[in-house]
Each structure stands twice: as structure tokens, then as C-alpha cells.
Amino acid sequence: MRIPPYHRDKTWQRFFAGMAVGAVISWLVFLQLFGILQEKQVRQIAKLKDEIIDLQNDIQIWQQDYIQLNKENKKKLTIQDIKINIINAEQYKLDSYTKFRIEESIKNDISHLIAKDIETAYKSKELLKKTIENKTFQIDDRHYKVEISELFLFTTLSIDLKIKQGV
């Protein structure tokens, strides 16, 4: 088998030379276009990295402000409601009206705490306990005293009471 002698023919030489020059030119065009696209991508990535860093800084600032505001708001929380619950009313067979009267009487005694901040109420909790426990209630010729079993201070002041029959 013999290779035809195309290397001597001028048309074939021009064809192969054209293919070689075309390959080189197309390769250069490809590199140019690829480089331009890669440059755009690198710029976009750099821009997005800067934007991410800025947003992370903003998040940190917001979180620090949020934490600081929460601390300030916790200091400024006020008592907004008072709930009184008598635990052992069934033991003394108190009807609901009597139970309600005792609860309302105690609420009226400590109603000055509404709109006070929690810290002030906490500092005066011993006075609050003594105020409630030293009061005597007379209902149907019987005298009752109350004892605080649980006291919760937050935006709602919740007090659980036990009734004791007094003298």
C-alpha cells in the first residue's frame, strides 16, 4: 500500500496549510473568548464575595443590637397582670364566690404592683409576702389566713395560695 504523493501538489499543500492556520486562529479565538468569559466570572465571584462579607458584617451588627435591645427590654419589663389561685379551697369547702372574694381582696391589696418593673417587684417580694400572709379574712363567722405556696414574677404576677383556718 502506497501513500499518494499529495505533498507535492500545491492545492493539497494550501489545504493543509489553511487547516493548520485555521486551527491556530480558531484556537486563539477560543482562548480569547474563554478568557473574557472567565474574567467576567472572576469579577462576579469577587463581587459576590464582597457582598457576602458586607452582609455578614451587617448580620453581626444586627445581632449585637438585637442582643443589647433584649437586655434593655428585660430590664424594663413590667408587671401587666396579677393572677391569684387558691389551691386548697375544696378542703375548707369554700364556694366559688367566697374564693373569688378572697382572690379579689388580695388583688386589690397588691394592685399597686401593676405597671411596676419586675426588678422592683422582686426586690419587694418579702414585703409582698408579708402583706398577703398577715391579712385575715372573715367569711361566715370563720377567720381564714392565707399562706403563699408559690410566687412567680414575670409580666404576669402569679401567686398560688393555701388557706389556713385562723383564730
Measured CA to CA in angstroms, residue 145 lies from 141, 149, 151, 166, 167 at distances of 13, 13, 17, 6, 9
Q: Are residues 35 and 99 in the same domain?
A: no
Q: Is 157 exposed, middle or buried (0-12, 13-18, 19+ CB in 10 A)?
A: buried
What type of residue sits at position 45? I
Q: How many domains does the chain have?
A: 2
Q: What is the pLDDT of residue 12?
A: 80
Mean pLDDT of the chain, nearest integer: 88
pLDDT at position 30, please? 96
In a domain, residue 23? The reply is yes
pTM above 0.75, yes or no: no
Grid coordinates standing for 7? 505533498
- Which of 54, 75, 96 terminates a domain? The answer is 75
What is the predicted pLDDT for the residue at 167? 61
The boundaries of the domain holding residue 115 are 81-165
SS3 content of the chain, % helix, strand, coil (to 5): 60, 20, 20
Domain co-membership, 70 together with 105: no
Q: Which residues of the chain have pLDDT under 70?
A: 1-4, 6-7, 167
The answer to the question of residue 44 being in a domain is yes
At residue 160, the pLDDT reads 94
- Per-residue pLDDT at 74: 72
